[in-house]
Amino acid sequence: MEEVPLHVIHLDQDDPRKCTARKMHASGLVELHESVSGAPKRGYILDPKSTTILGPEDRNLISLGAALVVLDCSWKRIDESLEEIAGRTMLEGRILPALLAANPVSWGRVGRLSSVEAIAASLAILGHQDQASRVLQPFQFGQQFLDLNREPLEAYSTAGSRDEIAAMQTEFFTLERG
């Protein structure tokens, strides 16, 4: 199976020592872009404000070489960061279904994933489990993320549609997003 191209639009808003995007880039796992203009033109951007869940319908475009892109920014500045890139990319926004964060900053919080957790979750949901594991390897909490979310990730990756995933997430989590 082809590797999914992974990219990060890095807005340099977080503590550099805790930045999972920089560590992924240093490990050769993602391409890092300081602005939207350098990001790929075809693929999906992980957007926690999107209304479209990443699901099996997205596998076809990924199989054609489309990229997964994460916007690396502070959760405290998510709205302004999304505004900053709005209209400047053709990438399609996708939200991840509910998962638990394992990173030290947001441990145990539903949906407050770090960039590496978001990329790994996306890969797992799209059927690229081996690449998801490799992306998480450099991180102490990487295996814990997979362990915490084993059941939902397996269920999401075998779902037949994004609607099925939307229904499933309420079986695993009480959702209080926002």
Whether the pLDDT of residue 66 is over 70: the answer is yes
The rounded percent of the chain whose pLDDT value lies above 70 is: 84
Of 10, 68, 137, 57, residue with least CA distance to 145: 137
DSSP letter assigned to residue 149: T
CA distance 162 to 92: 15
Higher pLDDT, 40 or 128: 128
For residue 177, the model assigns a pLDDT of 47
For residue 84, the model assigns a pLDDT of 66
Residue type, 17: R
Per-residue pLDDT tens for 127-141?
A: 999 999 999 999 999
The mean pLDDT value for 2-13 works out to 83
Average pLDDT value for the chain: 86
For residue 96, the model assigns a pLDDT of 96
For residue 178, the model assigns a pLDDT of 44
Higher pLDDT, 122 or 74: 122
Per-residue pLDDT tens for 149-178?
A: 999 999 999 999 999 999 999 888 875 544
Q: Is residue 60 classed exposed, middle or buried when 0-12, 13-18 and 19+ CB atoms within 10 A define those classes?
A: exposed
Q: How far is CA 49 from the centre of its chain?
A: 13
The mean pLDDT value for 100-127 works out to 93
Question: 133 is written with which tokens?
Answer: 């594991």
For residue 117, the model assigns a pLDDT of 96
